[in-house]
A and B are shown apart, each in its own frame.
Chain A
């Protein structure tokens, strides 16, 4: 702050508060809706304050779900989402860190070509080439499996670049010292590189967990059996099914449950989240 201008500071506070309200409004409305019963919406507009049916609605969704929509209980879908998010985050980190190690610490024929092959994945989002990718997965018999849900999504150019940057900043003296002490490449990787990139791994994990949890189109296409529905993809099926008979209170309870884990991760690990976000994009 350069000069003391109380009026301007007040204006800044008001702007930020308005921003917080805009950002929170849809979630507040969803929360309120999720604590009422279906009949409370019949009057024409939804209530503005929470009602008494919070525990009842959430317990019902977690336990049994809406049977008429053909979706499994929300508890099952959240478990599927969790498995998917963890597999994607861990898988991406594992295959990226080894690739970056190979690219930075070895010279081998076709190294540049390998690097460019990985780089291409950055340019081709799954939405763009959805039809042929779906055919490949179907031909491999991977529909309705955790493998089909996760493996096609775990190639990552951004994570490889990030680890490459990290490794390039690690001083050569460390590598020399390790080699003089007789450490082979894998021992060096395990005992020096992994511990040194611990915070980068954690930051990346936060971002990738959110990425995996929020996947929508891919699980929607890959899962036709309700056993493998994820919550983010399942919620749409539920909203479609209730169009005739509005059960918005249950849909909104599901929406709240769908955003709870990733939002908790962002708020609980804000420092790592910001670090991960800035690093993966630069």
Chain B
């Protein structure tokens, strides 16, 4: 808190005006519209709208497609988070042993952050292309017939790999920073007490890394749930048979392609609730920087 302040009645408002105007017009107003529309239903021609109370939400709850989308999102988010964080932690721990080559490896590992999710999707779509891709060719060698256009599990695996690949560099950087902040004296003391590298990792490094891990856990779940829209749209478009239709994709699809505004708005409201809950968790625990 500042002790020295400037006194002016209108200047602070002038400085805040652009940010507040944009926030109001493009954030608060649309959010309020979403809430309003979630209680309305339009007829097929968009002429009459009537208030239907919670009917849109009840319809979602009874819709097998929506429940499927919820399940797909959960499975997708868990797989992306575990795969990406696991690989990144492994690489960060390996990098922690390096002295001279650390910066070279870091450069070689961080650039995928800059690749757009849509482009990441296209790249992996191409690698796994059933007719000309490399991976199906390799998999055929071990007797697996890969086809993400018809197989539900193959399609899910594809979008998980593309999404996790994009996130590796981000997690890696934060794990490296987390590892560097662990005092060397603790690990040295454990080594003197006779603990080997594996024991030291599980008894010292991993517990002291838990604030970073928890922070990344929330960030990765948010990423998998909301930022992977482009990956899905550039590759599977939610198919085959809804196997990769995650919640954000369904909001878009029902709203723009299906033109079902009431249902799309109700889904928006549910998603906003999820984001607000995740952000609250992030602030509550990450701000305190808890070491367990």
Residues of A within 8 A of B (CB): 1-3, 5, 8-9, 11-13, 15-16, 19-20, 22-27, 29-30, 33, 41, 44-46, 48, 94-96, 98-99, 101-108, 111, 114, 117-118, 120-125, 127-137, 140, 151-152, 154-155, 160, 168, 172, 175-176, 179, 184-186, 188, 210, 213-214, 216-217, 220-221, 232-233, 235-236, 239, 246, 248, 251-252, 255, 258-259, 262-263, 265-267, 270, 273-274, 277-278, 281
Tell me whether B165 and A26 are in contact (CB under 8 A): yes
Which residues of chain B have C-beta atoms less than 8 A from A281's C-beta? 174, 215, 219
**B28 → chain A closest CB, angstroms:** 7
Pick from B8, B118, B226: contact of A185, CB under 8 Å = B8
B residues apposed to A, CB below 8 Å:
1-9, 11-13, 15-16, 18-20, 22-31, 33-34, 37, 87, 90-91, 93-95, 97-99, 101, 105-120, 122-127, 129, 131-134, 137, 165, 168-170, 173-174, 177, 184, 187-188, 191, 197, 200, 215, 219, 226-227, 229-230, 233-234, 248, 251-252, 255-256, 261, 264-265, 268, 271-272, 275-276, 279
Asked if B24 and A127 make an inter-chain contact with CB atoms under 8 angstroms apart, the answer reads no
The answer to whether A216 and B173 have CB atoms under 8 Å apart is no
Q: Decide if A15 touches B252 in the complex (CB within 8 Å).
A: no
Beyond contacts A26-B165, A236-B118, A274-B110: 13 other A-B pairs, Cβ-Cβ < 8 A, are A13-B94, A29-B134, A33-B126, A45-B134, A106-B12, A117-B24, A118-B19, A125-B226, A129-B272, A133-B26, A214-B118, A217-B233, A236-B122
* Bound form: Cα–Cα A96–B177 in Å: 27
* Closest beta carbon of chain A to B99's beta carbon, Å: 7
Once the chains bind, are A123 and B261 in contact (CB under 8 Å)? Answer: no
Q: Do B233 and A236 have beta carbons less than 8 Å apart?
A: yes
Interface SS majority for chain A: helix
What residue of chain B has the Cβ atom nearest to residue A5's Cβ? Answer: B197
A127 and B229 within 8 A (CB): yes
Chain B neighbourhood of A265, CB < 8 A: 114
Q: Give 28 A-B contacts (CB < 8 Å), ordered by A residue.
A: A9-B97, A15-B91, A16-B105, A19-B91, A23-B109, A27-B123, A46-B134, A105-B2, A106-B5, A108-B13, A120-B23, A123-B279, A127-B226, A131-B265, A132-B29, A132-B33, A184-B6, A185-B8, A213-B116, A214-B116, A217-B233, A236-B122, A246-B132, A248-B129, A252-B126, A263-B111, A273-B113, A281-B174
CA distance A274 to B227 in the complex (A): 20
A-B contacts counted at CB < 8 A amount to 304
CB distance from A69 to the nearest CB of B (A): 14
Q: Closest Cβ of chain A: how far from B284's Cβ, in Å?
A: 14
Task: Please name all residues of chain B whose beta carbon is closer than 8 Å to the beta carbon of A99 when the two chains form the complex.
Answer: 15-16, 18-20
- Nearest residue, chain A, Cβ from B252: A130
The main secondary structure of chain B at its interface with chain A is helix
- A152 in contact with B22 given A23-B109, A235-B118 (CB within 8 Å): yes
One of A15, A101, A122, A274 near B90 (C-beta < 8 A): A15
Query: Is B6 in contact with A30, judged by CB distance below 8 angstroms?
Result: no
Q: Is the CB of A267 within 8 A of B107?
A: yes
Question: Could you tell me if B115 and A259 are in contact, using CB atoms closer than 8 angstroms?
Answer: yes
Q: How far is the CA of A205 from the CA of B125 in the complex (A)?
A: 31
